[in-house]
Amino acid sequence: MDYRIIHELPRRIRIDCGRALSPGGAAALASFLLGLEGVETVQASSLTGRLLITLDPPAKGGVLDKLGRLELSALPVSSQAPYGDTEEEFQNKLFSLVTRRIFTRFFLPPSLGLLYTGFQALGFIGKGLKALARGALTVEVLDAAAVSVSLAQGQSVTAGSIMFMLGLGEVLEDYTHKRSRAALADSFSLNIDTVWRRKDGEDQEVPIGSIRPGDLILVRSGAMIPLDGEVFEGEALVCQASLTGEPLPVLKRGGNAVYAGTVVEEGELVITASTLADETRIGKIISIIDESEGLKAKIQGRAERLADSIVPFSFAGAAITLGLTGRLSKAIAFLMVDYSCAIKLAMPIAVLSAMGESARRRILVKGGKFLEAAALADTVIFDKTGTLTEARPVIVKVVPTEGQSRREVLSMAACLEDHFPHSVAEAVVRQADQENLKHREEHSKLEYVVAHGVAACYAESRVVLGSYHFVFEDEKTLLTETEKELIERETEGYSAIYLAKEGRLLGIIAFTDPPRRDASSVIGELKSLGISRIVMITGDNRAAAGKIAGELGITEYYAEVLPQDKSRLVKEYKARGSTVIMVGDGINDAPALAASDAGIAMINGCDLAREAADVVLLSSNLGSLCHIIRIGRGLLSRISGNYRKILLVNSSLLALSLGGIISPGTSALLHNLSTFLLSSASSRPYLPDYMGELNQER
């Protein structure tokens, strides 16, 4: 196996495997290394594909040699390690259930066995009565009826078998559901128990739960940052791949923000904690996972409502069968083979599986209904800057008006823009620095208007810098015919901002924001997926917008769009009957993201956009948009297929029971077994070789 040593101490080595790992693969690799002589502990991250190994120094050479000769594909992939608590709980429940059944069936005297069965039945009957009290004919009522009828017939063995199978079904359902959720949460979990806290100049290892905001935490080279915070002192290269997908480390120094789950590759940091352990960005992601089950796909909700509506027909079928045959054993078959059990388990697991696969592809989905919306979408609307373009504008020309110098215009603009993190502002400041222009702070009363521009008092005069709409329409800057011709000539094919002082134009700064390298191929792929309408909206002028749209093959675009108009356009498309995906990354995109059927934000976008979005692309790969559409379509296909299989299997079992070929107990066994198998099949990957593709992206 190819690997790279990132950091090395006498007893500790951090290794990059050069590839992403599945949770099972990471567990298998950790298990292999722990079996080698001299290895004390191993931490394996499936997100970053990295290993942290502590070992005896003399054993290091042998361990690295074995690691180099290892074929990862040859390891038995463990699916249990990442979900140990769930596995242990399942095994304990299963052992207890089977042991009780064997003891009561074969070793308990008949009289005591009957008493125990009757006592056990009270729980099932109680659940059924509670459901009836709510006016609901649910699965619990079916179960209670089947057990009660068997006991009324004096068939305590049959009643016991029915309750055993129902109990087994509950254990299997609970296990399958918890394991699916655990697999999803494990995609983001940190598994950090202790941290080094610096207090009064001393470093002490303490439980992470004891850390409070404001505490100082020491993070050494090779360690994972445990909490969100700000660098108090030190300097280090930090790998943020777990959050951004960007493989190159980022330099962090005093005052910079750092996030839980990222890794210090080189250097040492003392961090002022800003959050508690469950309030980190990754903690919030896991909270979204917990809350997302309420955001069900419509098709899932329809299937579950249909499942509940089938219950009365099961009772009707049982009554008709009893009336025609006079045999309770055949009537019980209708009560034992219910369709809703499998529907209510397999459908949520299919959704959780889709969300889990999305997470492994670095896509955070906040609910199943957004996967469905992505699958059904026929319209994709892109914001231009930062989504279809690099969001790193380049200044192409600085054009002064008559009586001004180019240096004065650029220097004054850089002075105003130096305070704002906007990409255009950064481009202006960067150009001024490259030309060694001094842009001293000579302004006061600085005012920033979101998505428009900046105004300031500069040398006792009001100076404004921003968009055409802001400078000439909002600020009423005068514009002569000569200046209009100058603007038209110099900005053709480019975006521009304008500098004015006391209502008079001083200069024009033209810039371009090149398209993302993958934007054109993603647009083509969306068309191949059958997306009938691809739209670009931007606040840029029409010429600049048309240039980018032409390069990307987009025929429908809107230029000079104000922030409030973006959400209006989304609503207009929805009013025409379209299912709309909105993709954006800025503050002014948030209303449009919220208004769409599925709002998708980029990881490098602002916090407000990510909060408003339904889906967040956690990597810089725009192609993830196509992944989410494919996964959503796969989910709808799987849910529909599950529904057909459930009808076929359960109807077949019902026919066999009515024909006297199998008993009610056997019917219950096969019913629960088919439910478990179908639920397990629902957790299969939706797209082929997702780990392989992820490795290529990395």
Q: How many CA atoms lie within 13 A of 393 on its CB side?
A: 26
Q: How far apart are the C-alpha atoms of 380 and 377, rounded to whole Å?
A: 7
Q: Give the burial string for 265-298 (b: 16+ CB within 10 Å, else e).
A: bebebbbbbbbebeebbbbbbbebbeebeebbbe
Cβ-based neighbours of 457, under 8 Å, separated by 6 or more: 443, 444, 445, 463
Q: Parallel, antiparallel, or unpaired for β 533-537 and 556-558?
A: parallel
Torsion of CA 257, 263, 268, 274, to 10 degrees: 30
Among the options 338, 383, 418, 597, which is catalytic? 383
Give SS3 for 347: helix
Q: How far is CA 643 from the centre of its chain?
A: 26
Q: How far apart are the C-alpha atoms of 225 and 239, rounded to whole Å?
A: 10
Looking at beta carbons, which pairs linking 117-122 to residues 24 or more positions away fall under 8 Å?
117/151, 117/156, 117/159, 117/160, 117/163, 118/151, 118/156, 120/160, 120/163, 121/147, 121/148, 121/151, 121/159, 121/163
Distances 85 to 5, 178, 492, 503, 648 between C-alpha atoms, Å = 32, 10, 63, 69, 35
For 210, counting Cβ atoms within 10 Å of its Cβ (0-12 exposed, 13-18 middle, 19+ buried), the class is exposed
CA nearest neighbour of 308 among 142, 122, 127: 142
Residue by residue, DSSP assigns 490-514 as HSTTSEEEEEEETTEEEEEEEEE-P
Measured in degrees and rounded to the nearest 5, phi and psi for residue 216 equal: -95, 130
Give SS3 for 396: strand
Q: How many C-beta atoms surround the C-beta of residue 490 within 10 A?
A: 16
The separation between the first and the last C-alpha atoms of the chain, rounded to the nearest angstrom, is 17
Query: Which residues on adjacent β-strands are paired with residue 455?
Result: 447, 464
Q: ∠ at Cα 202 (196, 208), nearest 5°?
A: 25
Q: ∠ at Cα 239 (8, 257), nearest 5°?
A: 120
Q: How far is CA 81 from the centre of its chain?
A: 22
Cβ-based neighbours of 571, under 8 Å, separated by 6 or more: 595
User: DSSP assignment, residue 119?
Assistant: H
For 342, counting Cβ atoms within 10 Å of its Cβ (0-12 exposed, 13-18 middle, 19+ buried), the class is buried
383 is catalytic: yes
Q: Is the dihedral of CA 183, 187, 188, 189 positive or negative?
A: positive
Torsion of CA 510, 515, 520, 523, to 10 degrees: -90
User: DSSP assignment, residue 619?
Assistant: S
Catalytic residues: 383
